[in-house]
Amino acid sequence: NAGVTQTPKFQVLKTGQSMTLQCAQDMNHNSMYWYRQDPGMGLRLIYYSASEGTTDKGEVPNGYNVSRLNKREFSLRLESAAPSQTSVYFCASSEVPGGALRNEQFFGPGTRLTVL
């Protein structure tokens, strides 16, 4: 039982390049999330998918797109990377969307992205 996995672990891009961050979970969770973590800013939600087939914007969606490929997989795409997107990206999943009783999130190990 691997939990939440993310690939790659590290990535360096040049400004304007594109890339896709992959996330998969094996807990049969309905909801998945993408966050970015920056020093002094905590975790900020980029996009989330409350259930398979749905996606919604979070706090900081500009410059990103997402795809909920199936129940297990939720990818994050940077179409034209900018230095402001240098960050650590975390994927998370939960059994149901955030507010449900006794719900909790499980996190992947993160992707450290540098945009030059």
Partner 1 sequence: GDSVTQMEGPVTLSEEAFLTINCTYTATGYPSLFWYVQYPGEGLQLLLKATKADDKGSNKGFEATYRKETTSFHLEKGSVQVSDSAVYFCALSGGNQFYFGTGTSLTVIP
Tell me which residues touch partner 1 (CB under 8 A). 4, 31, 33, 35, 40-43, 45, 48, 50, 56, 58, 90, 92, 94, 97-110
- Pick 76 or 92: Cβ nearer partner 1: 92
Q: How far is the CB of 11 from partner 1 (least distance, A)?
A: 16
Give the strand order in the sheet containing 19-25: 4-7, 19-25, 74-78, 64-68
- Pick 16 or 98: Cβ nearer partner 1: 98
- Pick 35 or 74: Cβ nearer partner 1: 35
Q: How far is the CB of 26 from partner 1 (least distance, A)?
A: 15
The identity of residue 98, as a single letter, is G
Q: What's the length of the chain?
A: 116
CA-based nearest residue to 31, from 46, 5, 50: 50
Q: How far is the CB of 45 from partner 1 (least distance, A)?
A: 6
Q: How far is the CB of 64 from partner 1 (least distance, A)?
A: 16
Contact 2, 105 (CB under 8 A): no
CA-based nearest residue to 25, from 76, 63, 73: 73
